[in-house]
């Protein structure tokens, strides 16, 4: 299985909105609603911020939102804050009952 495709980096200014895309295939992203997103700060474990494409776990700010169209899922962060600077990973369940991650996107808040 191949990793999902994410841009290596993205940047934005405080208060702005950014979108991170995650492209897979019909065997993963396009085939299921089981797309999730994770935020990882340096030296820390990843944290779930979006599950089932567009649902936020309790405690995750509503500035974080997710969507999907075809084989591409997206994470949007609105009202960027300095604390949002981190690495972001998408993940999808697959038709083989396995899991695949994206390569990760580093967000810089300038």
Partner 1 sequence: QVQLQESGPGLVKPSQTLSLTCTVSGGSISSNDYFWSWIRQPPGKGLEWIGYIYYRGTTFYNPSLKSRVTISVDTSKNQLSLKLSSVTAADTAVFYCARMSTVTLDFDIWGRGTLVTVSS
CB atoms within 10 A of CB 29: 29
Asked whether position 63 contacts partner 1 by CB under 8 A, the answer is no
Q: Closest separation between CB of residue 11 and partner 1, Å?
A: 19
Q: For partner 1, what does the binding mask look like between residues 5 and 44, x meaning CB under 8 A?
A: ---------------------------x-x-x-x------
CB 94 within 8 A of CB 3: no
- Sort 45 into a burial class: Cβ within 10 Å, 0-12 / 13-18 / 19+: exposed
Tokens for 51? Answer: 């599950």
Cα separation, 30 vs 87, in Å, equals 23
Q: Closest separation between CB of residue 15 and partner 1, Å?
A: 28
Which chain residues interact with partner 1 by CB under 8 A?
1, 3, 32, 34, 36, 38, 45-48, 51-52, 55, 57, 89, 91, 93, 96-104
């Amino acid at each position: 299985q191949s990793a999902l495709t994410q841009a290596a980096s993205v940047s934005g200014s405080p208060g702005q909105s950014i979108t991170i895309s995650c492209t897979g295939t019909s065997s993963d992203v396009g085939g299921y609603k089981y797309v999730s997103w994770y935020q990882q700060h340096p030296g820390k474990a990843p944290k779930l911020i979006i599950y089932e494409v567009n649902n936020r776990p309790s405690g995750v700010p509503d500035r974080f939102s997710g969507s999907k169209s075809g084989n591409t899922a997206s994470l949007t962060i609105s009202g960027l804050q300095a604390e949002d600077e981190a690495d972001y990973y998408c993940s999808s369940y697959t038709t083989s009952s396995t899991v695949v991650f994206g390569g990760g996107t580093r967000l810089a808040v300038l």
